[in-house]
Structure 1
Amino acid sequence: MRAHLARVDAVIIQAVIAGALSFSHLHDLAEAAGQGGWKAWAYPVSVDLLLVAAWRRMREQQRAGQPAGGPRLWFLIALAASLGANIATAGLLDLGHVPASLRVVVAGWPAVAFFGGTLLAHAPRTVEEPAAPVIPEPEPEPSSVPAAVDTPRSDELPKASTDPAPEEPAPSPVLAAPPHVPAVALPPALIDRAQALAEEHRTATGQPADPDVVRTRLGLPPSMTPSVAAHL
């Protein structure tokens, strides 16, 4: 437990340091490009927010089995803006005499970030509709009036037969049940994907996912349904 907390603490500290440095580099570049005051502080916030939003949407669409080309494009654009600011402030660029082309790029960034954020926020999300519950048919209630029982007369009773009892046929041999076919092992990546689909279905509908439905969404043949069900 302590080792796990130590790893988490180290990751958080590293993320805070890297984020602070990148934030400072973006601020310095925006200020050198003529965006002074509060505007210079807004640029790093815009770049980092677009980076995080694109990453989250890309992961959501990948878990849902949808193409994530759009979010991946905006993630690369935001990453290029952050990485470019870090490189530009490494001494390779004279911040006292910023080129006009870089001033144009910095000034046009708000429109680009607004357009990308709007597309990410309003992209359609596919949610599986919950299956309609199956209502069992009511069983017929037994009648409270007992049926009349006909008592046969003595002359209608069958007479005992004096013939020897026929020999009973030998029981037919019982066929052995086919051996249980073990489930085929799935790759770890496919297991994680199947569990993610099942968890998404359980979150959306409140019911466990059908292994056959998960197998269909994974694009596996019907014979792989037991293997998928073994990992849900």
Structure 2
Amino acid sequence: MFRSIRIDAVLIQAVIAGALSFAHLHDLAEAAGQTGWKAWAYPVSVDLLLVAVWRRLRTERSGLAWFWFLVALVASLGANIATAGLLDLDHVPAWLRILVAGWPALAFLGGTLLAHTPDATPAPTP
């Protein structure tokens, strides 16, 4: 009748890691001049690209999927490292401002290619 709730340590760790990574991406975007909702949308776009890539990699191990996985991973990992004190967030270099400002177009391109490039695996027949 009653279902027991099982606390999964891996799930808890994943939620904590995700929240920290999200905060780092937000902080970097804000430091690079993306204010308000734009600073919050930046980590969402990075994480959604990773989700799209993961979905593709579960069905197909293509060069396209691995390329976009590396792009999204570098964006996420780069923000995490940059906010670890290696970068003065009060004086973000121009090249990083350009990368952050250009990210939406890059993420849109990657997501579109992943969503609209057919899988190499054939669809199951009924």
TM-score for both structures, normalised by structure 1: 0.50
Retained in 2: the 8 A contact 1:47–1:81?
A: yes
**Larger-gyration structure (1/2):** 1
Structure-1 residue corresponding to 2:28: 29
Between structures 1 and 2, the one with greater helix share: 2
Structure-2 residue corresponding to 1:14: 13
4+ residue segments displaced more than 4 Å: 5-8, 126-129
2: CA distance between counterparts of 1:111 and 1:128?
30
The within-5 A match list for 1:202-221 is 204-206=124-126
1:93 aligned partner, one-letter code: L
Retained in 2: the 8 A contact 1:55–1:72?
A: no
Match of 1:101 among 68, 71, 95: 95
2:114 aligned partner, one-letter code: L
1:41 aligns with 2:48: no
Aligned residues: 123
* Secondary structure, counterpart of 1:26 in structure 2: helix
Retained in 2: the 8 A contact 1:28–1:40?
A: yes
2: CA distance between counterparts of 1:89 and 1:37?
19
The within-5 A match list for 1:24-103 is 24-62=23-61, 68-103=62-97
Structure-2 residue corresponding to 1:118: 112
2:111 aligned partner, one-letter code: G
Give the Å deviation of 1:56. 1.4
Can you give the 5+ residue segments of structure 2 that lack an aligned partner in the other structure?
none
> Using a 3 Å threshold, how does the CA distance of structure 1 residues 8 and 109 change in structure 2: closer, same or farther?
same
2: CA distance between counterparts of 1:61 and 1:86?
28
> Using a 3 Å threshold, how does the CA distance of structure 1 residues 113 and 128 change in structure 2: closer, same or farther?
closer
> Using a 3 Å threshold, how does the CA distance of structure 1 residues 77 and 126 change in structure 2: closer, same or farther?
closer
Retained in 2: the 8 A contact 1:33–1:106?
A: yes
1:116 aligned partner, one-letter code: G
Question: Percent sequence identity over matched residues?
Answer: 74
TM-score for both structures, normalised by structure 2: 0.90
2: CA distance between counterparts of 1:22 and 1:124?
31
* Secondary structure, counterpart of 2:107 in structure 1: helix
